[in-house]
Amino acid sequence: MEYLDLIKQRHSVRAYKSDPVEQEKIDKILEAARLAPTAANRQAFKVFVIHTAGREQELKKIYSRDWFVKAPVIIGICSIPDKAWVRRDGKNYCDIDAAIVMDHIILAATDLGLGTCWIGAFDPDAAKKVLNLDKGIEPVAFTPLGYPEPHNFNKIRKNLDELVEVK
């Protein structure tokens, strides 16, 4: 897909079919994650691929919406703050790195005809428990991954002149 068309096509999908996602597509999406840039190339992140079948109730502890677990796959991005680049003033870039990785995943998924939805409002303690995360690994974001139910979408955005200032 042409890049701007891809950006226009990506939107939050909150209704999924339970049809499986082909492993070939998951592999392409993970390659997009692997190639994401990170500060100082630290690559201080971990991607979790979670198959939802039979685990719906457990996974709803992370984020309780039915559509979150209706998708056949959930992808979770975690950061490893101790391994991430830290700016001289102390700012740790781990969340920024993780967000770039997730955006690569989400755009790659869109290009493959799959739906996604950024999930930031998850329960971090539940996520740590369900994923059995080691200390020092922080969940940053999740997305369901699956074929969308037919739906319409609308991009509600500010005008460029509210967002951009040329100096």
Q: How far is the CB of 14 from ligand FMN (least distance, A)?
A: 6
- On whether the CB atoms of residues 23 and 51 are closer than 8 A, the answer is no
Which stretch, 16-24, 42-50, 85-93, 118-126, contacts ligand FMN (CB under 6 A)?
Answer: 118-126
Name the nearest CA neighbour of 147 among 12, 11, 17, 6: 17
- Given the complex with ligand FMN, which of 19 and 118 has the nearer CB atom? 118
Question: Would you give the binding string for ligand FMN spanning residues 24-43, x where CB under 6 A is met?
Answer: --------------------
Q: How far is the CB of 86 from ligand FMN (least distance, A)?
A: 22
Site for ligand FMN contains 158 (CB under 6 A)? no
Separation of first and last alpha carbons in the chain: 33
Q: How far is the CB of 119 from ligand FMN (least distance, A)?
A: 4
Site for ligand FMN contains 135 (CB under 6 A)? no
What is 21-49 written as a DSSP string? PPHHHHHHHHHHHHT---GGG---EEEEE
Where along the sequence are the contacts to ligand FMN (CB under 6 A)?
A: 11-12, 117-121, 153, 155
